Amino acid sequence: MIRDGLGAVPVAVGPTFVCHVIPLTPLPPGHIEPTSLDLAADELEWARPGGHRLLPRRFFRGAGRVCISERTQDAVCNGYAQLFDDGAIELVGTVWTDLDSPDGQPVLYPGLYEGSLHEHGMPSVTRAWTRLGLTGPLWLSVSLVGLGTGHVAIPDAITRRNGFWPLRESVPGIMGVPMQLDSMGEATPSALRPTLDALIRALSAQARI
């Protein structure tokens, strides 16, 4: 949906990580006061999805709130955090970078997204949920969309040095398997490790086809 123009805002072309945090029992529409939504959105400004700093302003999307990064010259953004009025949260961030590119094509570094998710994303979501009076249980998943030509940097299992593998346009995205957690306090790096590892393994298999 992000790549079909159905996301909250247009995002830049390229691999995009999407983290979904969904209350297992969504709150009824209108249950959350607008002031609480604003306070929760204040916390999401620090989420840095994909490492992109979000602006200290937001706009309305239905009854929810959306915080976005600066727009590019093409009027698209590289990241945003969307808060729905039922308490669900979506963190969207593009992750193209040309660091160490073997042939000048873009390279996807999954580790860059993972570090930002642990350091900024999950703590911001936890604080936002606290503002809404939510703790859990919840569904949490991480997906990757917008794949195309380029490379993915995958560390070698033994040396841990990056190998650069070409991406295939025939696989536009990889959907993560949702995890059920009892509370946001369980959304730790070790808890997220299996779902992120599964994405990287899927990327690895897709790149080696």
Q: What are the boundaries of each domain within the chain? A: 2-207
Tens digits of per-residue pLDDT, 172-185? 678 878 889 999 88
Mapped onto helix, strand or coil, the DSSP state of residue 40 is helix
Query: Among 132, 142, 144, 207, which Cα is nearest to 174's?
Result: 144
**Among 14, 208, 17, CA closest to 111:** 17
- How is residue 159 annotated by DSSP? T
Pairing status of strand 138-145 against strand 107-108: unpaired
Answer whether residue 97 shows pLDDT above 70: no
Find out whether 61 and 82 touch, Cβ atoms under 8 Å: yes
CB 49 within 8 A of CB 93: yes
Per-residue model confidence (pLDDT) at position 44: 95
Rounded CA separation 89/56 (Å) = 18
Cβ neighbour number for residue 19 with a 10 Å cutoff: 26
Give the HSE-up count for residue 108: Cα atoms under 13 Å, Cβ half-sphere: 29
Q: What average pLDDT does range 75-93 have in this prediction?
A: 90
Q: What is the mean pLDDT of residues 102-127?
A: 84
- The pLDDT value given to residue 208: 55
Burial class of residue 50, CB neighbours in 10 A (0-12, 13-18, 19+):
buried
DSSP-derived pairing of the beta strands 89-94 and 151-155: unpaired
When comparing pLDDT for 40 and 16, which is higher? 40
Tell me the whole-structure pTM to 2 decimals. Answer: 0.85
Higher pLDDT, 208 or 129: 129
